[in-house]
Structure 1
Amino acid sequence: MFRRSGTVLMVLFVLCGFGVPAFSLPKTVVILRHGEKESVSSLCRLGIDRSLALASQYLGQGARDSLFPAGERPAGFFALTLDTLQFASPAAATWEMPVTVFSAVPLPGVDPTPQLNLRTQQAAGAVLDDPRYHGRIVVMVWNHRHIADEAMARKFPDQKVTLRQLLNLDKLPDVPDSWPGYTYDHFWIVEFGTSGSQVPTGFRMVRQEFAPPFDRLPSAEWGKRLKLPMGSKCLP
């Protein structure tokens, strides 16, 4: 009797622990691009103000129009480069959380693309497979070409190099093929809900619109160029 019970328990253990796919899927992934920049690796004043506005209104603890359901907190803030780290930090700080950086720092004379590809793949793998994020919310602040870029996807036909591919957004309708280089003011919100499947169950795009004191930050419909204020010193 004991031997039979032990066998049953072992079978259940195998089924629960090893016999089903070990998908530790998040509940929600919030994707956004870094703010406006004054150099390759640094935000301009407008981009800094946008990062503070996002913390105050959408992503920070106690935010006015929080993207997180009441009583929930993000499980992680991810960044890729120095400018995305700078952009994510104000919101993460309100939660007393570090930013997890999949660091891709440009080196003189070295094409950064392979490193950016690898770090994006590693970050997406962590989001989908790390049990720390299972059933929780992750915020990813990324560069636009590695969020979604049709030309990038064609350039690397034998691997997935964008979050659109890696998070299986390409399997959903109405997800843009590319994130425009002049669009800084939107979120992509990705929902997962099917057990055992890494294909998202929902996608929506949210435009960033700010209340005072950040109401002068530029905002436009998806795909429309933002109108930068005179003297902003931001890259066009």
Structure 2
Amino acid sequence: MTTSVRRPPRRMPGWAKVLAALALVLALLFAGIRLAVLPGIKDLFGTESHDRSGPALLKSIQDMSRYDAASGNFQVVVDLEKDAKYLPDAIRGTRTLYVGAGTVDAYVDLGKLGEKDVTVNSDRTKATLRLPHARLGKPALDPDRSYAVSKQRGLLDRIGDLFSDNPNGEQAVQKLAVKHIGEAANDSELTARAETNTTDMLQGLLRSLGFKEVRVSYDP
């Protein structure tokens, strides 16, 4: 009578487990792409968005004493590239081409006028005003007109996005877009246009009140 000896099951090597897991991930990614391409399947496995945000809370109220006299629309193309020092771009590195559109307002602060800045003659027919020069407000990026044209990422960056709370973040290119828009506004004639519009507004207002001569000047 012979007895059979059971052989212990062979254990899969560690490197084989890693390859199997990687193959499974690639298979799932490929299957997701195939499902997104097939008609009708996308709607079956699609996602829905639900806005469960709470009500907006009023934190503070500020009285505005400035006159927004002009507004400029700007657009800039940002090409931001980040490279690793010792790795090729295919492994580690990103490059984003981003179109940023936004506005910059130019205003005159009328709240800083003092008694010496406004003079009126005795019969109220002549008025002289001395105003501070126009200033630029902060650039405001328009999300509806700003978008990423292309994004190139290395393999390690793509893997990192899987574990990131904010994958494909565009904060860096958005900050650069705001910076370039602000620089373009400084180089433009937006403040000069704001002062011209402010002068026209004040002259029209005071003349409608009976003043025949209205002079508006700006601090040197």
Q: TM-score, normalised by structure 1?
A: 0.19
Higher strand proportion, which one? 2
Structure whose CA Rg is larger: 2
- What is the TM-score of this pair, normalised by structure 2? 0.21
